[in-house]
Amino acid sequence: MFSEIAPRYDLLNRLLSFGADLRWRRRAVDLALEKAPRRILDLATGTGDLALMLKERAPAAEVVGADFAPPMLEIARKKAEARGLEVRFLEADALALPFPDESFEAVTIAFGFRNFADYEKALRELYRVLAPGGRLVLLEFPPPPKGAFGLVYRVYFGRILPFLGGLLSGNFGAYRYLPESVEAFPAPEALKAMMAAAGFSVRYELLTFGVAAIHVGDRP
């Protein structure tokens, strides 16, 4: 599914979020770089937006982007080459990462964690590849907020976005999957508890009235 929508993925991200996804990613980069990491993994990197932002902001750091969809990675490599940025992109399974223990000082994931088949196992794997004192930054869509804004958002996210996304990408199933996966995702407090159970010291912040959330987990 992700491979099929790769050619229009960036365009749809900008259009369907009204450009807000770039602001959210920039905030995730700020948090990921607070401790000046030298080795960074951007997991579920997709077409590489966050990995490239990280490299631009921290040119001396080694940045690796990993994903399980080869067509996404091909686009990421072309973007890196066009911008003259040295980022290594490779295919990887988030539940069995091909890296030794304590390989990275920061790990970022933008809108990919909810697609993992086993959240607890993924968190254990992320903890494993982080060095002591390292940081995990998760940018995700939590379930829609309550109240009047949440009602409007649900209509857009559940009906309008899947139609527009399907029309522009040619894959209606992929954009029906998006709101379904968000509704099934743990609420921010539940995700915080899950990360704490994996050993992280956790805090989170809500963005744009709760449309997105960033969880920060530090490995002691």
Residues forming the annotated binding site?
Answer: 47, 67, 93-94
Contact present, 141 and 185 (Cβ < 8 Å): yes
Across 191-201, average pLDDT: 98
Q: What is the mean pLDDT of residues 116-144?
A: 96
Residue that wins the pLDDT comparison between 78 and 12: 78
What is the reported pLDDT for 16? 59
pLDDT for the residue 30: 98
Q: Is there a contact between 109 and 84 (Cβ–Cβ < 8 Å)?
A: no
pLDDT in the model for residue 9: 61
Predicted pLDDT of residue 182? 82
Output the pLDDT for position 5: 59
Q: For the segment 28-61, what is each residue's pLDDT rounded down to a tens digit?
A: 999 999 999 999 999 999 999 999 999 999 999 9
Residue 188: the pLDDT is: 97
- How is domain 2-144+186-218 classified at the CATH fold level? Rossmann fold (3.40.50)
pLDDT in tens, 135-193: 999 999 999 877 777 777 777 777 787 777 777 767 777 667 677 888 889 999 999 99
Closest CA to 86 of 70, 113, 106, 62: 62
Q: What's residue 135's pLDDT?
A: 98
Binding-site entries for S-adenosyl-L-methionine: 47, 67, 93-94
Residue 11 has pLDDT above 60, yes or no: no
CA atoms within 13 A on the CB side of 96: 0
What lies within 8 Å, CB to CB, of 40 at 6+ separation is: 32, 54, 58, 61, 62, 63, 64, 104, 105, 106, 107, 108
Tokens of 117: 């088949």
Average per-residue pLDDT for the chain: 89
Q: What is the mean pLDDT of residues 127-136?
A: 98
Q: Cα separation of 162 and 109, whole Å?
A: 23
pLDDT at 8 over 60: no
* Helix axis angle, 119-129 to 188-197, nearest 10°: 50
178 CB-near residues (< 8 Å, 6+ apart) = 157, 161, 162, 165
